Amino acid sequence: MEISQLLPPQTLDSDPLLEFEADLEEAARSLDLEPWVLQRLKHPEREITVNLPRVRDDGSAVNVTGYRVQHSRGHGPCIGPVAFSPTAQPASLRTTAAEITLQSALLGLRFGGAAGAIVVDPEQLTERELRHLVKDFVIALHENTGPLFDVLAADGNEYVAAWMDEANTHARGQCEPAAIAGKPIDGGTLDAVCALSISALIQQALSAKSLEGVRIAVQGFGRQGRALAGALHTQGARIVAIADRSGGIVRDSGIDLGLLQDYVIQNGVVFGFPAAEAANNPDVLECDCDLLILAAAERQIGAYNAPRIRARAILELTQGAITHAGELALPGPCVVVPHLLAGAAQLAVWSHEWQRGLSFAAPDPQAAEAESRTLVLHAFDRARRMASERKISLRGAALMLALSRLASSLRLR
């Protein structure tokens, strides 16, 4: 099994940024938006580059680049994740930042989107090196961040969140709980809270009374994929296929997630799990199931493989996992819940943490899940109604709803 099988090569000719802009333009035409509104939304307010010179543990000197793209601060503070990637580029960060602005409008929140990255492979660094690099990044940005300017989100890594919080306190000379999102939550984790909200979204999308017996395939078994699979399994869903970078496994009667978790802890990958049949990535993507969850990489479904997808519905948990051509080529009955809706649960949880942080109160996992569920399901219902009325996709309807709200706000400024 080759790792390259995770990404079908036929889908590599798409550009996520260009496709995102094309979707924006199509939605803007449908709404008859003024050209200046579209241009304002297509381009971020500011892009910041920082250079972080470091001396590694072996004595070698390196310079690491960091980026922060702030899409809009006109409606409230920016908020968005900080990623670690050796291939990070401002272009991909622009797409993420713009989509968070749209998600905020869709949920009725007053945030602008932001996205950041440290251009490094964290697997190649020691914990001490990574800790100091994170702190240097936060300190270098501190004049352009803060609870009322730009909230840095650790995207589920509690250690990184703690390092970022410590660095922000050092840079500003005071504790600011609302300046960093994704910090540890007593009684739960950010991923677990998001997973419960997304589970409710899945049930709504499938128009099911419960998730008991629903057959689910999961592509991607990282933090989000594991948490969501666990939440769905707890609610009675049957996980029939799972894939990660190593390959895949399938079992029509359902995969035992408890045993699989133990296996992954010991071996680091799902491939080779003895209590299921070995498979490759296409087998998982194209298996017969009620729901396919895309939680791995971009461009996993394109025109090449879309006609073979047999899932009743697809949850796009990774931004750009379905190309524009791929969505058009999917079988007619297949419903796509786009990342604009699926990823909004995380933003809603960050919003809860930020609001509590402003008053120096700890986040409440139950309240965060309830708020996130209410906001996401309301947005989904509105998008589904518009999609039905206009005979368009959920992606197009969600975009139009978000753009309409943003345009109304921009005209008043």
Q: What is the pLDDT along the chain (413 residues), one digit of tens a residue?
A: 333 344 444 444 467 778 888 888 898 899 998 999 889 888 999 999 999 999 888 889 999 999 999 999 877 899 999 999 999 999 889 999 999 999 999 999 999 999 999 999 998 999 999 999 999 999 999 999 999 999 999 876 788 999 999 999 999 999 999 999 988 777 667 788 899 999 999 999 999 999 999 999 999 998 889 999 999 999 999 999 999 988 899 999 999 999 999 999 899 889 899 999 999 999 999 999 999 999 988 899 999 999 999 999 999 999 999 998 999 999 988 999 999 999 999 999 999 999 999 999 999 999 999 999 999 999 999 999 999 999 999 999 999 999 999 998 888 77
Q: What's residue 67's pLDDT? A: 97
Q: What's residue 156's pLDDT? A: 67
> CA–CA separation, 58 vs 35, rounded Å?
54
Q: 44-181 and 185-413: same fold?
A: yes
Q: What's residue 170's pLDDT? A: 94
- Our CA angle for 34, 37, 40, nearest 5°, is 150
Q: What's residue 8's pLDDT? A: 47
> CA–CA separation, 164 vs 83, rounded Å?
13
Number of alpha carbons in the 13 Å side-chain half-sphere of residue 123: 2
- Count H helices and E strands in the chain, helices first: 14, 13
In DSSP notation, 272-283 reads T-TTSEEE-HHH
Q: Six-digit token pair at 383?
A: 């998008």
> CA–CA separation, 352 vs 358, rounded Å?
10
Say which amino acid occupies 366. Answer: Q
**3-class SS letters over 362-398:** CCCHHHHHHHHHHHHHHHHHHHHHHHHHHCCCHHHHH
Q: If residue 315 lies in a helix (H) or strand (E), which one and from where to where?
A: strand 313-316
| SS3 label, residue 216 | strand
> CA–CA separation, 255 vs 243, rounded Å?
12
Q: Where are the domains of the chain?
A: 44-181, 185-413
CATH superfamily for 185-413 is NAD(P)-binding Rossmann-like Domain (3.40.50.720)
Q: Six-digit token pair at 314?
A: 């697809």
CA distances in angstroms from 7 to 122, 219, 315, 321, 346, listed in the order given:
22, 11, 18, 10, 25
Nearest to 243 by CA among 275, 220, 212: 220
As its CATH architecture, domain 44-181 has 3-Layer(aba) Sandwich (3.40)
Burial of 149 (0-12, 13-18, 19+ CB in 10 A): middle
Q: Six-digit token pair at 175?
A: 């504790």
Number of alpha carbons in the 13 Å side-chain half-sphere of residue 235: 21
Q: What's residue 73's pLDDT? A: 86
Q: Six-digit token pair at 74?
A: 């006109």
Question: Which pTM was predicted?
Answer: 0.92
> CA–CA separation, 350 vs 377, rounded Å?
17
Q: What's residue 217's pLDDT? A: 97
The arrangement of strands across the sheet holding 112-118 comes to 46-55, 61-70, 112-118, 78-84, 150-153, 180-181
